[in-house]
Amino acid sequence: MYNDGVNVHTYKILPVKIKVQVDVIDTESFAWVNELPPEDFIIHKDKFCSHNDRIGYVVASEKNDVVGAITLLRRTIVLDGIPLILGGIGGVCTRNDKRKNGVGTMLVEKAMGELKRVGCDIAYLCTDVTKEWMVNFYQKFGFVRLVHGHTYTGKSGKRYTEFDGMIAPVCSKQLFQRIGMIKKPFDIGRGNW
């Protein structure tokens, strides 16, 4: 069910008042990161080192209160010698009291539209694929699991391979299908989103 009082906007840079609210929701949604043991926290920071890929934000608000947000990312990678513009959806979060009201759907719909507007060939995200409801949620927007996983380098140069990634076509169904035919992990470049 969509929440009629919610408005969704895009920003290149978050105004301070909105950033403060987004940070609170982000901390609430991803509290587990701050609970990691120190050695795991260092690895997490090494993996998620792609702040330079950030191209904007999608923010949902009700009156003057932020109720959800997504970070938009973009980078160019090479797939079999072909440049590919990889769009990213990161930090998808909805305020606890607004979950299951359509806010996440509104955010992802707007985010996918923005990735299309800026010419991304495909969209990528990582999520907890062990939770069927999460996989089902993103499938509504055309996302499919990367069966053979994805690989990337961290800030340290270390290579990571994981199996929590999903991709969706944005401007190129052909490149999306080509990735699906690869029988090895999909290389997303430097840093995870």
- Segments making up each domain of the chain, as ranges: 6-190
The CATH code for residues 6-190 is 3.40.630.30
Q: What is the pLDDT of residues 114-170, one digit of tens each?
A: 999 999 999 999 999 999 999 999 999 999 999 999 999 999 999 999 999 999 999
In this prediction the pTM is 0.92
Q: What is d(CA 123, CA 115) in angstroms, rounded to the nearest whole number?
A: 7
Residues 6+ apart with CB under 8 A from 39: none
Instruction: Locate 111 and state its tokens.
Output: 């985010």
Q: What is d(CA 182, CA 98) in angstroms, rounded to the nearest whole number?
A: 39
Q: What is d(CA 97, CA 119) in angstroms, rounded to the nearest whole number?
A: 34
Q: Provide the pLDDT for residue 1.
A: 43
